[in-house]
Amino acid sequence: MEKNKIYNVPASFVSNAFIDEKKYQALYKHSIDNSDEFWAEQAKEFITWFSPWKSVQSGSFDKLDMRWFLEGKLNACYNCVDRHLEKRKNQIAIIWQGDNPDESLTLTYAALHEKICRFANVLKNLGVKKGDRVCIYLPMIPEIAIAMLAVARIGAIHSVVFSAFSSDSLKARILDADCKLLITADHGVRGGKNNPLKDHADKALEKCPNVKHVIVVKRTGAPITWNKERDVWYHEALQNANMECPAEKLDSDDPLFILYTSGSTGSPKGILHTTGGYLVYAAITHKYVFNYSEGDIYWCTADIGWITGHSYLIYGPLLNGATTLMFEGVPQYPNFSRFWEIIDKYNVNIFYTAPTAIRALHKEGDQWVKQTSRKSLKLLGTVGEPINPDAWEWYHRVVGDDRCPIVDTWWQTETGGILISPLPYATPLKPGSVGWPFFGISPEVVDEQGQAVEDGKTGKLIIKKPWPGLMKTIYGDQERFKETYFKEVPGCYLTGDGADRDTDGYFWITGRNDDIIKVSGHRIGSGELEAVLNSHPAVAESAAIGIPDDIRGNIIYAFVTTKSGIQPTELLKKELIQKVRDEIGPHAIVGNIQWAKDLPKTRSGKIMRRLLRKIASDELTDLGDTSTLADPGVVGDLISERKKIK
């Protein structure tokens, strides 16, 4: 595939666009040159403030004291729901499609409002106050949106934990944020399988003494264990709750949520987003990147347990008064047409998914797509990992019938919203490129010394200036915030990704530069994996890396050294793979384990992961500089062991 193949904007569509290429260039320049003016305009347009801000921004990447819309007062829930009631009371806010094709429901803005208010009162009656952390461990059911918005309504902070996470992962997140209440369901349902969420929650809570109440949504009604002192049924509590609940007036800088994500090292980080900046950024990016127009049916397939679900299934679309679709299931159940059937059922106009899903469905052949109409589609989006041009072409040609622009959106949990993406109709598209920066975003590609590289050269992707959607800090760990993102290139935000920019200004993401592994778009840290492996009594040491995979983007490959006297066996391999799955979650799939007599370490004791990646991917022609290895002999051993398992 030619790298610079360009898909021009189809002329018939240009009239639908908010902006064209020229307007993009002008507005982008304005957003960078007159940042305060630009963001003031956007904050007025996209958000209803109880009282206006006194200044647009303050602070810098040097001091790490950035703040947005200072002293402005607002409420996230009010902006997502209440302010729309006058015009959209009877408009559908959420379409819910169950895992079972026959199960679905809709919630109008008025119905959503009523449920949120009642639930907010339930929370208040259980003692939740402004600033308290509430953990939400729910599957993809409407109650997850109701819970998040009810928490935001009373000024508490939600911490959503992906429902596929294990009880250990849940426990660690509850403890780190010191949550005082947990909202969960009896079971989750996905792909025809049951996930015993309440059991996981019970197990996690054995070690979380500060969680005094658990609110349980009845999803399947299958039996669960019940703790009378602690557990409350959601539906019973809601019935008895008052529906009057004014939205708390919060400061722009008050926290809205914490969302845990994997880092290169150590335990997952609680990314903290505040209210004003995050909401302005989620709303403006949702409107422009998806060219969202009044009446569009919008579907983002991401799970709400990840940032894409927060920003582009809940906050962005609801801020813009959209109808957002929430799907409980998976693309391959009951068959590979599932996504396309849902698009036809609801006449979806905008569809946003991940490369891993596109690749998995591409593999099954075109017939699953072609047996559906998809004529409602106007725009396609992708996120989470680089999309290979082949998958892009298929998405464009087969799914979008050659008529829908694709927005390949690059961003991170930390960035709050999309930072680099084509704008539909304004950016001619290049398959595999994430296009141009969004308004107000100043990306640069730099070398090891932090100097900008020439166009076409690969380097580290950094962002030079603050923008409203950027996280506030890592919850409870400002030092780690500073170390992780601002130390390597002082005065700039380090993304951790590699990239190059071509001479047309298009960005191309090459993947992570650090030890974060993206498996099917899910972010997993090498450190977390190694901690689980190393805790097995037979393991002395381990190193986990990601290696390329056609469908999942990357798979986990682990090198493991057993304790002396312990014989490595196939049984032990299976046990270790299962242990990772049990302790992190089923998305942490270890694809392969290679036994290693020793790991390649530098003289200062650092594992040379670059070398491990080469060995695991059989790229043996150029192993790079191995002169700093404490024992160069380990390389030969690792290569011969790799040959044995191929």
Q: Answer whether the bond into residue 334 is a cis peptide, omega within 30°.
A: yes
User: Does 437 participate in binding ligand WTA (rule CB under 6 A)?
Assistant: no
Terminal CA-CA length for the chain:
29
In order of 300, 398, 438, 561, 603, the CA distances from 308 in angstroms are 8, 25, 17, 37, 41
Q: How far is the CB of 554 from ligand WTA (least distance, A)?
A: 10
Nearer to ligand WTA, 35 or 353 (CB): 353
User: Does 368 participate in binding ligand WTA (rule CB under 6 A)?
Assistant: no
Largest CA distance in the chain: 73
User: Does 509 participate in binding ligand WTA (rule CB under 6 A)?
Assistant: yes
Nearer to ligand WTA, 188 or 386 (CB): 386
CB 137 within 8 A of CB 585: no
Stretch that binds ligand WTA, among 140-148, 493-501, 597-605, 627-635 (CB under 6 A): 493-501
User: Does 285 participate in binding ligand WTA (rule CB under 6 A)?
Assistant: no
389/406 Cα distance (integer angstroms): 12
Which single residue brings its beta carbon nearest to ligand WTA? 413
214/203 Cα distance (integer angstroms): 13
Q: Give the bridge partners for 95, in sequence order.
A: 106, 325
User: Does 412 participate in binding ligand WTA (rule CB under 6 A)?
Assistant: yes
274/553 Cα distance (integer angstroms): 32
Stretch that binds ligand WTA, among 51-59, 476-484, 490-498, 632-640 (CB under 6 A): 490-498
Nearer to ligand WTA, 415 or 562 (CB): 415
By residue count, the chain amounts to: 646
User: Does 411 participate in binding ligand WTA (rule CB under 6 A)?
Assistant: yes
One of 75, 291, 356, 413 touching ligand WTA (CB under 6 A): 413
Stretch that binds ligand WTA, among 27-35, 57-65, 188-196, 406-414 (CB under 6 A): 406-414
User: Does 434 participate in binding ligand WTA (rule CB under 6 A)?
Assistant: yes
CB 556 within 8 A of CB 546: yes
Size of residue set near ligand WTA by CB under 6 A? 22
What single letter denotes the amino acid at residue 174?
A: I
One of 308, 337, 442, 484 touching ligand WTA (CB under 6 A): 308
Nearer to ligand WTA, 274 or 412 (CB): 412
| Nearest-5° Cα angle at 558, 556 to 564 | 165
Task: Say if strands 323-327 and 297-300 run parallel, antiparallel, or are unpaired.
Answer: parallel
Tokens at residue 68, please?
Answer: 């947005």
229/119 Cα distance (integer angstroms): 20
Q: Give the bridge partners for 68, in sequence order.
A: 57
What single letter denotes the amino acid at residue 537?
A: P
Q: How far is the CB of 323 from ligand WTA (least distance, A)?
A: 22
User: Does 383 participate in binding ligand WTA (rule CB under 6 A)?
Assistant: yes
Q: How far is the CB of 521 from ligand WTA (least distance, A)?
A: 7
Rounded to the nearest angstrom, the gap between the alpha carbon of residue 64 and the centroid of all alpha carbons in its chain is: 24
Stretch that binds ligand WTA, among 57-65, 361-369, 403-411, 475-483 (CB under 6 A): 403-411
One of 173, 286, 396, 518 touching ligand WTA (CB under 6 A): 518
Q: How far is the CB of 44 from ligand WTA (least distance, A)?
A: 27
Write out the residues near ligand WTA by the rule CB under 6 A: 261, 306-308, 383-386, 408-413, 434, 495-497, 509, 512, 518, 523
